[in-house]
């Protein structure tokens, strides 16, 4: 058997029963594809089920508030996906009468939809002959055909798209695309794949040449920056605290957080107390300063490592605009802050 027949044979024997595979509804497929960007299926599944229950149609999602969407997305990460999801739902619902574009080129015009997502929706919903190319596809094709091109380069992506298009059966793009992604997710995994049970092992060029662990080639390294966040949990005589919404562009845009002091390096209590002078209600109302996170939790994002400390500041009197701890859980927070709230205030 050739590559395509072997692949589809394997897929039909091994594919997972995933809810978005049992529909051609472009809304549901779009929703799943946005959620699964840079996210494992096991992590994304509960969110998909929660979203489809809360927002069964694109109109339901479009008419929801952004805060409700962000709250339901809480913990899935890459929150720009949620904001783009909401804006695209509004565009489709109110400007396209609830009807998703039915081809790859028009799908590309939707906010938050790139080459991969447009190809997935076009092939899964409309069976358009367009190949999906993601990390799984790079890995499978580079190993089977011994392709040594650097996948960090845009030109390489085009090469893989052309190769996948050649291999794709012209009457069943959806099955081929699902199959090659599933094969990469379950069998041809990034590290230590079990090649002894692989249906491709007699034909895989990388296996024959003992290069499986060398492919795909990727030269560009992600540069990681370190940031030091000091969150201030004010507590007044009514046990109320302060939060605010992050309005600046960047990480966690439109999510909520405690007042933040960002420093260039890790800080101790003396240095931290000096920074507190920037808050109007200080220093004459401070009664106590407590470090609530002595283990210095590090929250790792793709390009940033956040070194996070939570400081509790007891203050005299009543804080203007303060809210109680129970109400905190109704706001969308970055998951690292929400977990802190649950551990310290919602037990």
* Residues 147-165: tens digit of each pLDDT: 999 999 999 999 999 999 9
pLDDT at 8: 97
DSSP label at residue 126: H
pLDDT at 282: 54
pLDDT at 176: 98
pLDDT at 297: 74
Q: Is 106 a catalytic residue?
A: no
Ordered DSSP codes for 22-64: S---HHHHHHHHHHTTTS-HHHHHHHHHHHHHH-SSHHHHHHS
The residue annotated as part of the active site, out of 33, 128, 182, 235, is 33
CB 233 within 8 A of CB 312: yes
In this prediction the pTM is 0.90
In the chain, alpha helices (H): 3-14, 26-35, 41-54, 58-63, 66-73, 80-95, 104-107, 115-126, 135-145, 154-167, 173-186, 205-208, 269-275, 325-328, 335-344
pLDDT at 254: 96
Which segments of the chain have a pLDDT < 50? Answer: none
């Amino acid at each position: 058997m050739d590559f395509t027949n072997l692949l589809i044979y394997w897929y039909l024997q091994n594919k997972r029963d995933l809810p978005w595979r049992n529909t051609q509804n472009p809304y549901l497929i779009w929703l799943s594809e946005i959620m699964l960007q840079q996210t494992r299926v096991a992590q994304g599944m509960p969110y998909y089920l929660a979203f489809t229950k809360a927002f069964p149609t694109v109109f339901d999602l479009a008419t929801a508030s952004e805060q409700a969407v962000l709250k339901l997305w809480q913990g899935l990460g890459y929150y720009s996906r949620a904001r783009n999801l909401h804006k695209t739902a509004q565009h489709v619902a109110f400007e396209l009468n609830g009807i998703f574009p039915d081809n790859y080129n028009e799908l590309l015009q939707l906010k938050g939809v790139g080459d991969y997502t447009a190809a997935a929706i076009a092939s899964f919903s409309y069976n358009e002959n367009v190949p999906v190319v993601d990390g799984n596809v790079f890995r499978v094709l580079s190993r089977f055909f011994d392709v040594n091109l650097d996948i960090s380069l845009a030109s390489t992506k085009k090469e893989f798209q052309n190769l996948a298009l050649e291999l794709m059966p012209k009457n069943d793009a959806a099955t081929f695309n699902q199959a090659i992604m599933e094969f990469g997710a379950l069998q041809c995994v990034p590290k230590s794949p079990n090649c002894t049970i692989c249906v491709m092992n007699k034909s895989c060029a990388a296996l024959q040449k003992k290069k499986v662990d060398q492919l795909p080639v990727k030269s560009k390294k992600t540069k990681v920056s370190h940031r030091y966040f000091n969150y201030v949990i004010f507590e007044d005589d009514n046990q109320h605290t302060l939060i605010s919404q992050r309005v600046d562009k960047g990480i966690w845009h439109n999510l909520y957080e405690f007042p933040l002091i960002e420093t260039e390096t890790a800080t101790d209590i003396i240095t931290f107390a000096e920074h507190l002078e920037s808050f109007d209600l200080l220093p004459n109302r401070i009664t106590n300063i407590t470090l609530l996170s002595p283990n210095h939790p590090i929250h790792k994002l793709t390009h940033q490592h956040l070194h996070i400390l939570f400081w509790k500041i007891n203050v005299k009197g009543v804080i203007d605009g303060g809210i109680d701890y129970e109400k905190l859980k109704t706001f969308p927070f970055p998951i690292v802050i929400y977990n802190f709230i649950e551990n310290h205030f919602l037990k």
